[in-house]
Amino acid sequence: MAAERPRALLLDYAGVLTVPIGEALAAVCDSEGIDPDSVRDGADIAALETGRMPLAEFEAAFASRLRSRPGAPPPVADGLVGRMFAVLPPNPRMAAAARRLRAAGVRTALLTNTWGGAEGHDTAELAELFDVLVLSHEVGLRKPDPEVYALAAERLGVRAGACVVVDDLITNVIGAQEAGMRAVLHQDDATTIAELEELFGVPATAR
């Protein structure tokens, strides 16, 4: 018997609805004179993403770990995260795919680990793309915790097995699978869109 078609799509933000996050880090390091080798994830990122650490506190701690390139001034903490996301261009192909799938009746959610809400999301565009927004700093949960996937499914009104998650990080793909969802590791637009069309059985691009 053929597998049941999924009914809901859960998309990540940075790296899926935007160009890869590494491009933003490279751009902000270049513009602010930061040594890219000094950019490292730390335990405080989890605190920021779950709303346990204020953005200003994170920025101060983050900036203190960064090293300037020779001749460049020290990194400015205030607004650092916002400047990072400001140089992260959107990905119109994935946004268009989400819009078409939603128009075809697929329930859609933005499920993303947020950096204190500094991403500068276009709220009007998000309203066009998604039925539900699950932002980690608002709900106090972050991927790959299976609980945040379960929360997204609950808000969408579907069971976990009816959901497809698209994420650019393998750890988050594994988390989705552990929560009982199907998952697509996003590496390029064409491959991801083709997988979504096969899973949902509807076109996600203009014909």
Instruction: Give pLDDT, residue 43.
Output: 55
Q: Helix and strand tally (H, E) in the chain?
A: 10, 5
Same domain, 66 and 100: no
My answer on whether 35 and 53 are in the same domain is yes
For residue 206, is it within any domain?
no
Q: Is the same domain home to 65 and 118?
A: no
Model-wide pTM > 0.75: yes
- Read off the pLDDT of residues 138-195 as tens digits, 9 standing for 90 and up: 999 999 999 999 999 999 999 999 999 999 999 999 999 999 999 999 999 999 999 9
**pLDDT digit string (tens) for 101-143?**
999 999 999 999 999 889 888 888 899 999 999 999 999 999 9
Q: What percent of the chain lies above the pLDDT cut of 70?
A: 96
Examine the domain organization and report whether 100 and 125 are in the same domain.
Answer: yes
Overall domain count for the chain: 2
Instruction: Give the list of residues 6+ apart from residue 100 with CB closer than 8 angstroms, or none.
Output: 202, 203, 204, 205, 206
pLDDT value of residue 122: 84
User: Does residue 72 lie within any of the structural domains?
Assistant: yes
On whether both 186 and 117 belong to a single domain, the answer is yes
The predicted-structure confidence for 47-91, as pLDDT tens digits, reads as follows: 999 999 999 999 999 888 889 999 999 889 999 889 888 888 899
160 and 182 share one domain = yes
Q: Which domain holds residue 147?
A: 8-18+90-200
CATH number at residue 14: 3.40.50.1000
Residue ending a domain, among 33, 64, 86, is 86
In a domain, 102, yes or no: yes
Assess whether 127 and 177 both reside in one domain. Answer: yes
Residue 177 structure tokens: 């699978």
Beta bridge partners of 182: 164
* Residue among 93, 109, 81 nearest 17 (CA): 93
Does the pLDDT at position 94 exceed 80?
Answer: yes
E-only strand ranges, the chain: 8-11, 107-112, 132-135, 163-167, 182-185
pLDDT digits (tens, 9 = 90+) for 12-57: 999 999 988 787 788 888 888 999 888 865 558 899 999 999 999 9
> CA–CA distance from 190 to each of 81, 88, 93, 194 (Å)?
30, 20, 9, 6
d(CA 203, CA 193) in angstroms, rounded, equals 9
Position 87 scores a pLDDT of 83
Report how far apart, in Å, the C-alpha atoms of 10 and of each of 37, 54, 75, 163, 183 are. 32, 26, 35, 7, 9
Task: Identify the domain boundary among 51, 70, 86.
Answer: 86
Confidence class of residue 1 from pLDDT cuts 50, 70 and 90? very low
E strand or H helix that includes residue 126: helix 123-129
Angstrom distance (rounded) from CA 34 to CA 26: 9
In terms of Cα–Cα distance, which of 156, 94, 102, 90 is closest to 129?
102
